[in-house]
Amino acid sequence: MANQKCFLYARKSTEPDDKQVMSIPAQLVELREFARKENLEILSEFQESKSAKTPGREQFAEMITRIEAGEASGILAWHPDRLARNSIDGGRVIYAVDTQKVTSLRFPTFWFEPTPQGLFMLQVAFGQSKYYSDSLTQNVKRGMRAKLRRGEWLTRAPFGYVNNPKTRNIEPHPVHSKIIVRAFKEYAKGTHGLVSLSHFLHEHGVSTKKGTPLGKASIKRLLTNRAYLGFTKHYDEWFEGSFAPIITPKLFEAVQKVLASKARPRRMKAKHDFPFTNLFRCGECGSMFTAQWATGKCGGKYRYYRCTKKKGKCAQGYLREEALVAEIKERFQTISLCDEDTDYMLKRVEEFEQGENHSSQSRVQNLSSKLKASEEKLDKLVSVYLDGDIPKSVYIKKKDELMRESLALKEKRKDFEHLGNNWVEPLREWILDTKQANFLSSSADFHEISSFVKKVGTNPTVRDKSARFGAPVPSEFVAERRALGKVLNCDPNDTELKTHSPASPGSG
Ligand SMILES: [Zn+2]
């Protein structure tokens, strides 16, 4: 069937009784989507921000003229009252239908057929009867409810998803979705900031159209995108989607927490920026290592780390930052695994997970009833809003809360259903850490390197110009994570590495 050629007309005015109607951009998205579904070809789009109660709209006039010239034979608008609300303009549309210049009038909210009854209904619609106003409201409500139920994703898929034209929905991309998960995990752990995360994503093919790393604002948008929770967006409102989520609510909320903490105004930044302070202790006397600037032989300025004990009380000398980093990186290489190994291990972990499915029936049921209550609340909220009893701002805020609450409950229920898997996630995290160690062993971001040592390293010390720290082996790492915060020291002989650095402050 050939596509019907039509003109699209969107109008928004400041008439007080128009406030139920969507904005022009909103109408455009709806209408383009409608056209796609109905096989309508849009030849031109006309937009107007004027009242339709009096004749004399320029865009409308131009569209009708072009229709009378035979350019298109269809008009697409959100509702008849977008086209005309006065008898002169309404008459022109009806005359065009009568003379078959217009063979198709399409509205997502109004069914029109070119029969005498249809024309009569159209005339009513172009007028302003109370009856009509009421049924218009009903139409809008119906449209919104339909959208709520469908949960489809109507625009281009966000990174991590692909559009599926068959289902008119999106689904997780097999590879990209994993990159998104990784990005969220990294950010939640604090091993990446916005900038380094942007570079990380860039390496994995997430870039701007120009091929450069994404800006901070884009990264922030990515990290707050509720699509990854399986929600679908309709203008500034989120609905429960009918596609698979990529990120667990737990991880999503963890990321939001980090974002919020970083958004708070920071205390005055220290004048000196020393990435490795408050990390290493002196291997001789146990005092904290501190940092300072020093000038080398050729006048260059360098950062050095040293024991805080006074000269004479501790024999340890200075250590240049570059030397310290080189040692840390070498240590990273001993705890890192290549991608092939990590991928194999991740696959095994998945198998473990599947093999250990225990369920806790009563708790699951309890959570289910809580979830049901939360969903009923949400339903009620939607009705209250559609009835015009609460302002949109309140509705949006409350709804976001309720949806996230529901999702958290669902997640909890899922946790109980897989009660035996408490150890799987930490193991997976460890595997990813070994991957991260590999990545950082060639990184130039000292802050990232430092925070990673803080995270995985135990008992970091510096002695005789060499740096040491323990890194837990998987079984201990898992045990540690399970103990929730209880620090376990691992066998230093097993995991520590000692390297000597020839660099010294005097010869620098
Ligand atoms: Zn010391």
Q: Give pLDDT, residue 506.
A: 39
Q: Residue 291 Cα, ligand 1 centroid: separation in angstroms?
A: 13
Q: Residue 317 Cα, ligand 1 centroid: separation in angstroms?
A: 9
Contact in structure between 74 and 106 (CB atoms under 8 Å): yes
Give the model confidence (pLDDT) of 437-466 as tens digits.
888 888 888 888 998 898 888 889 998 888
Q: Give pLDDT, residue 491.
A: 33
Q: Residue 315 Cα, ligand 1 centroid: separation in angstroms?
A: 7
Q: Give pLDDT, residue 423.
A: 62
More confident residue, 473 or 312: 312
Find, among 300, 306, 312, the residue nearest to 282 by Cα: 306
Q: What is the mean pLDDT of residues 36-62?
A: 88
Q: Residue 464 Cα, ligand 1 centroid: separation in angstroms?
A: 10
Q: Residue 286 Cα, ligand 1 centroid: separation in angstroms?
A: 6
Q: Residue 312 Cα, ligand 1 centroid: separation in angstroms?
A: 10
Q: Residue 311 Cα, ligand 1 centroid: separation in angstroms?
A: 9
The yes-or-no verdict on residue 495 having pLDDT over 50 is: no
Q: What percent of the chain has pLDDT over 70?
A: 76
Q: Residue 493 Cα, ligand 1 centroid: separation in angstroms?
A: 22
Greatest CA separation for the chain: 106
Contact in structure between 287 and 314 (CB atoms under 8 Å): yes
- For residues 61 and 68, what is the distance between their CA atoms, to the nearest angstrom? 11
Confidence of residue 328 (pLDDT cuts 50, 70, 90): very high
Q: Residue 507 Cα, ligand 1 centroid: separation in angstroms?
A: 21
When mean pLDDT is compared across 266-270, 325-329, 467-471, the lowest value belongs to 266-270
Q: Give pLDDT, residue 166.
A: 79
The yes-or-no verdict on residue 498 having pLDDT over 50 is: no
Q: Give pLDDT, residue 310.
A: 81
Handedness of CA 353, 359, 363, 368 (dihedral sign): positive
Confidence of residue 475 (pLDDT cuts 50, 70, 90): low
Name residues with Cβ closer than 5 Å to ligand 1, which is an ion.
282, 284-285, 287, 307, 309, 314, 316
Q: Residue 494 Cα, ligand 1 centroid: separation in angstroms?
A: 25
Q: Residue 223 Cα, ligand 1 centroid: separation in angstroms?
A: 43
Contact in structure between 321 and 303 (CB atoms under 8 Å): yes
Q: Residue 489 Cα, ligand 1 centroid: separation in angstroms?
A: 22
- For residues 58 and 63, what is the distance between their CA atoms, to the nearest angstrom? 9
Give the model confidence (pLDDT) of 238-294 as tens digits.
777 888 889 988 899 889 888 888 766 555 444 567 889 889 999 999 899 988 888
Q: Give pLDDT, residue 145.
A: 57
Q: Residue 285 Cα, ligand 1 centroid: separation in angstroms?
A: 4
The yes-or-no verdict on residue 20 having pLDDT over 50 is: yes
Q: Residue 500 Cα, ligand 1 centroid: separation in angstroms?
A: 18
Q: Residue 304 Cα, ligand 1 centroid: separation in angstroms?
A: 15
Confidence of residue 21 (pLDDT cuts 50, 70, 90): low
Q: What percent of the chain has pLDDT over 90?
A: 16
- For residues 479 and 51, what is the distance between their CA atoms, to the nearest angstrom? 69
Give the model confidence (pLDDT) of 135-193 as tens digits.
544 555 555 555 555 666 767 788 899 988 777 788 999 888 988 999 999 899 887 88
C-beta neighbour count of 16 within 10 angstroms: 6
Q: What is the mean pLDDT of residues 130-134?
A: 44
Q: Residue 319 Cα, ligand 1 centroid: separation in angstroms?
A: 12
Q: Give pLDDT, residue 75.
A: 95
Give the model confidence (pLDDT) of 372-414 as tens digits.
888 888 878 877 777 777 887 888 888 888 888 888 888 877 7
Q: What is the mean pLDDT of residues 108-126?
A: 73
User: Is CATH 3.40.50.720 the classification given to domain 4-150?
Assistant: no
The yes-or-no verdict on residue 322 having pLDDT over 50 is: yes
Q: Give pLDDT, residue 438.
A: 85
- For residues 118 and 133, what is the distance between their CA atoms, to the nearest angstrom? 18
- For residues 424 and 406, what is the distance between their CA atoms, to the nearest angstrom? 25
Q: Give pLDDT, residue 17.
A: 54
Q: Residue 283 Cα, ligand 1 centroid: separation in angstroms?
A: 7
Q: Give pLDDT, residue 37.
A: 83
Give the model confidence (pLDDT) of 52-91 as tens digits.
777 888 999 999 999 999 999 999 998 888 888 777 888 8
Q: Give pLDDT, residue 72.
A: 93
- For residues 159 and 362, what is the distance between their CA atoms, to the nearest angstrom? 38
When mean pLDDT is compared across 104-108, 351-355, 450-454, the lowest value belongs to 351-355
Name the strand (E) or helix (H) holding 364.
helix 361-386
Q: Residue 302 Cα, ligand 1 centroid: separation in angstroms?
A: 21
